[in-house]
Structure 1
Amino acid sequence: MKSLLTTLKGHPTLKAETTYSILFTIGFCHLLNDMIQSVIPAMYPIFRESFGFTFAQIGLITLVFQITSSIFQPFVGLYADRHPQPYSLSLGMCLSLAGLVALSFTSAYGAILATVALIGGGSSVFHPEASRVAQLASGGRKSLAQSIFQVGGNGGAAIGPLLAALIVLPYGQHAVGWFAGAALLAAVLLLRVGNWYSLMLTGTNTPLRNRTITPCTLPRTKIRHAMWILVVMIFSKYFYTSCMTSYFTFFLIDRFGVTVQQSQLCLFAYLAAFATGTLLGGFLGDRYGRKYVILFSIFGAAPFALALPYLNLFWTITMSILVGLIIASAFSAILVYATDLMPDKVGMISGIFFGLMFGLGGIGSAFFGWLADHTSIEFIFRASSYLPLLGIIALLLPDIRPAAGPGLQSTEHTIH
């Protein structure tokens, strides 16, 4: 079977090195995608005021969106592993585009459910295949590549609510259509990514997806145990961060009496640190090993998380920045570690973990909201601060060291 080197010689535009242009493009498209997702929660006050929807009806909208944007991802990823579709990235964004345009005009409840399903479906198509592209373009620096991709999503999640507040709330439902421009831009950019991906798949007579993949040498029992540990890590991280992102502003207002604007600035400080930590985790994971980044990023955040609910305003903000900086580095390391365990199932594994990220984040937000109603905002911050302690079980993960460098050998392991 021909080597990847033969493919690269036949196509001088394809390189074994890290392809940063593709990584930054896919990361920017991730930013646009996650920014678009924020439009749906921003519409809830408008739905309630304009159409008189009950909280149960709004909850069903959230459920449909969560199902289509998270539960479908593993199935999309599994299909992509068997039948890679380079242009499905652009197609997924076109689904979101169609959903946004329809959402800006429709008023019937059933039609609104259909539009949010389209937007969620577009996200389900985008994430698994985009993760495959990120690893393919990594040149062996898989944690760094995943972090560049992930930091785009974190950026979109951070600026999305702000843009929605500036555009959707003042101008109403029709203003949702303005976000269609972002979806259209992403769809066009992803056509270029699809062209590059297609070349990588068909660079020789032997498609890259059919090439030999270096399997993980661990016994299946250890692989299963490691996967369950990673799921616990995802639970710990996203249950805690859902409390921070959803209720940190309320905590600051309730405990210190700050204004809404001041609390929003503090939340943005946390989110900015979170985005920075995501990128930092990529560098550290490739250099020192994914296991140790997972351990440090979750268990290492525990002392700061535990101290946060008991400090004055200055130190509370400082602790939140440190928590965001440390704990954010976990997801990229977790995802790449999982794909190292099952290198022939990159799409499926990416779909599972992105689905868990969205699903557990939504469940965590709802759970802590319910708990706050029955106790207090301060109580949920004290209770959630123990979650990062679960990171200690990362010590039970097998020690899978990254490849020695970003050369051709590492690249071969990323092609499926």
Structure 2
Amino acid sequence: MRRNYSITLLSVGHGCVDVYQGAVASLVPFFVAERAYSYAAVSGIVLAASVLSSVAQPFFGMLTDRRAMPWLLPVSTLVGGAGIALGGVSDSYAVTLVVVAVSGIGVAAYHPESARVARLASSGSHSAMGWFSLGGSLGFALAPVMVAVVVAVQGLRWTPLLVLPAVVGAALCLPVLRALETRLSDAAKAPVTGKDDRASFVRLSLAVVCRSIAFIGLSTFVSLYATERMNGGYAAGTAALFLLYLGGAVGSVLGGALANRWDRVRVSRWSYVLTAGSTAGLVFVPGPALYLFVILTSAGLYIPFSLQVTLGQDYLPSRIGTASGITLGLTVSIGGLTSPAIGTLADRTSLQTALAPLILMPILAWLLFQTLPEPTVPVSDDTAPKGEDADVEHSPVQPGLR
């Protein structure tokens, strides 16, 4: 199976999983309207999806460092979808928390192994990994539309229909896993070369935490904020959330393209500087310009996203699964831990006041990136020969390849 075809299927499958991360925030306005949940209560639902995911992803990463577990991709996709599908079935707040948390575990199990498989299938190409990240971003972007179509008319009792993307995603990853079966097994047994740079990895992880706090804070409340600022209904809020995720899709592809011209650390630094300004515009500039700043902020937060994943893998070449689990999972999910604080502050003051501290997050990420080196590694990018044989020759299982 050719590299581009494999990455395409993996990207679509990635979108089918990440649609469930986006669905949590997309369901927030419906929980508020239909069940009269407070801001703090809906923040707790976001927290339920984040906590178990944040704890579980490094665990799954360590497991995949020890042995290949490609079967996790279809199974975890179905678990992630089932949790969200059951989210509107019961009126019980406790049951809703549990099933959404189960969805978070499914998402947690998916990402470390999928990043390893995508790294192998892509031959370590920045652009290919950017397309893989794009799939996840599009999943986020489609979540509010999907939820609105399913839930807006008939209410939360229709959420079981939301399991359909999981079924599609699980089916799409199967041909890729069959094609890569031998190489995945060989990769797990391959000797590790290269030296870990744990200090840089820790600083990188802190930067990803800052990015996560900003993005999850916005994804949780931007729909309600746009509805409030624009004096609109569901349409105003859904449009803002859709643009937030759509901007992420643009940023994912742009990040890979820019990294082919400049190094990953430099691209990430400039992205965070620009994002600080656009976040301030989102919070304080009145009128329809809000939507422009939503797109700019999202793109700015997503330009470094896939770059940070590959940087983490290059900083920890002996623990690629663990590095993927932390950069894709733990540090990202930690942002969800701050959502209740934002919600509580919004209940006591206003949403604008509660969102204002998010402006500091890209600034802190920029400061941390000032201390990071670009790993010196052999280049295996788009200059590599195409086709299955070329993928084997330039396989990224040798640490350092990106």
Question: Do both proteins adopt the same fold according to a TM-score greater than 0.5, normalized to the shorter chain?
Answer: yes
Match of residue 311 from structure 1: 285
Q: Does 1:28 align with 2:1?
A: no
Q: Which moved more, 1:143-152 or 1:61-70?
A: 61-70
1:411 to 373, 396, 399: 396
- What is the SS of the residue equivalent to 2:338? helix
Match of residue 245 from structure 2: 271
CA contact (8 A) 2:147 2:162 kept: no
Q: 1:263 to 1:35 in 2, by over 3 A?
A: closer
Could you give the per-residue CA deviations for residues 212-237 of structure 1, whole angstroms, max 9, x where no partner exists?
Answer: 33313xxx6xx232122212211221
Name which one, 1 or 2, has greater alpha-carbon Rg. Answer: 1
Q: 1:251 to 1:184 in 2, by over 3 A?
A: closer
Q: Does 1:213 align with 2:188?
A: no
- Give the counterpart letter for 2:14 in structure 1: H
- Give the counterpart letter for 2:218 in structure 1: M
Please list every run of 5 or more consecutive structure 2 residues that lacks an aligned counterpart in the other structure: 385-392
Task: State percent identity of aligned pairs.
Answer: 25
- What is the SS of the residue equivalent to 2:68? coil
Q: CA deviation at 1:132?
A: 0.5
Within a 5 Å distance, the mapping from 1:14-163 to structure 2 comes to 19-39=3-23, 62-96=46-80, 99=83, 115-141=99-125, 143-163=126-146
Q: Equivalents in 1 of 2:341, 2:226: separation in Å?
A: 20
- Give the counterpart letter for 1:224 in structure 2: R
Q: Equivalents in 1 of 2:29, 2:272: separation in Å?
A: 35
Question: Aligned-pair RMSD on alpha carbons?
Answer: 3.4
Q: Which moved more, 1:89-98 or 1:179-188?
A: 89-98
CA contact (8 A) 1:86 1:195 kept: no
- What is the SS of the residue equivalent to 2:124? coil
CA contact (8 A) 2:23 2:140 kept: no
Q: 1:385 to 1:409 in 2, by over 3 A?
A: same
- What is the SS of the residue equivalent to 1:171? coil
Could you give the per-residue CA deviations for residues 336-359 of structure 1, whole angstroms, max 9, x where no partner exists?
Answer: 101001122121111112223542
CA contact (8 A) 1:290 1:401 kept: no
Q: Does 1:376 align with 2:355?
A: no
Q: CA deviation at 1:47?
A: 7.5
CA contact (8 A) 1:29 1:190 kept: yes
Match of residue 196 from structure 1: 179
- Give the counterpart letter for 1:343 in structure 2: P
Count of residue pairs the alignment pairs up: 390
CA contact (8 A) 1:209 1:415 kept: no
CA contact (8 A) 2:48 2:100 kept: yes
Q: CA deviation at 1:277?
A: 0.8
Q: Equivalents in 2 of 1:382, 1:47: separation in Å?
A: 24
Match of residue 288 from structure 1: 262
Q: CA deviation at 1:120?
A: 2.5
CA contact (8 A) 1:136 1:415 kept: no
Q: 1:262 to 1:47 in 2, by over 3 A?
A: closer
Q: CA deviation at 1:175?
A: 2.3
Q: Equivalents in 2 of 1:275, 1:101: separation in Å?
A: 24
Q: Equivalents in 2 of 1:145, 1:256: separation in Å?
A: 38
Could you give the per-residue CA deviations for residues 293-326 of structure 1, whole angstroms, max 9, x where no partner exists?
Answer: 2212212322333444443435444333323222
Q: Equivalents in 2 of 1:118, 1:34: separation in Å?
A: 14
Q: Equivalents in 2 of 1:307, 1:56: separation in Å?
A: 25
- What is the SS of the residue equivalent to 1:72? helix
2:375 to 391, 400, 403: 400
- Give the counterpart letter for 1:323 in structure 2: T
CA contact (8 A) 2:43 2:340 kept: no
Q: 1:60 to 1:244 in 2, by over 3 A?
A: closer
Could you give the per-residue CA deviations for residues 261-306 of structure 1, whole angstroms, max 9, x where no partner exists?
Answer: 3454344334322210111101222432211122122123223334
Match of residue 237 from structure 1: 211
Q: CA deviation at 1:389?
A: 1.5
Match of residue 389 from structure 2: none
